[in-house]
Amino acid sequence: MQHMRGRNNGQEELCEILVPQLRERGNYSLQFVQGSFKQVRVQDLFVHRSLVVEMAQVLVTFKVFPTEVSINLDNLEKLIKKEVSPDRVEKEPVAFGLVVLKVSKIIPDKGGLIDALENQIRSIKGVGEVEVIEVTRTI
């Protein structure tokens, strides 16, 4: 809970409101509190100290197809790990001996980053096709 000064109907008063996503900084600590005690309009809010608000993150999962069935997936996995530093890589059989890699990575929820990551994976030698199969917001 963070104490902030806000205006309610033109009168300035001290309010206790929910301030999510704040980190411990300096000699004071902020704790996450469920719910809020009072509503304050954002345009009437005065913050005594600066706030650090972090951008949300998303978990993106790609299905990576090799250029050929006979390609060594262990070597391809090493190349992907070296280039992209994914959070997780899994092998998934598709059909008739074809195995694909499911590559998952947590990235900031910012425009263009998913496409850039997809192009980075696609540029790796041995990667045939790349498909985004899941994008989910992290908590």
Residue pair 137/109 in contact by the 8 Å Cβ criterion: yes
Give the count of beta carbons closer than 10 Å to the beta carbon of residue 123.
10
Residue 132: its pLDDT value, please? 96
Let me know if residue 93 belongs to a domain. yes
| Sheet of strand 57-66, all strands in order from the earlier edge strand to the far edge | 88-95, 98-108, 57-66, 127-137
Q: Are residues 41 and 68 in the same domain?
A: no
What lies within 8 Å, CB to CB, of 13 at 6+ separation is 5, 6, 7
Give 54-92 pLDDT, tens digit per residue. Answer: 678 999 999 999 999 889 999 999 999 999 999 999 999
pLDDT digits (tens, 9 = 90+) for 92-133: 999 888 899 999 999 998 889 999 999 999 999 999 999 999
Distance separating alpha carbons of residues 23 and 32, to the nearest angstrom = 9
> Are 102 and 64 members of one domain?
yes
Could you tell me if residue 51 is inside a domain? no
Based on the structure, what is the number of domains in the chain? Answer: 2
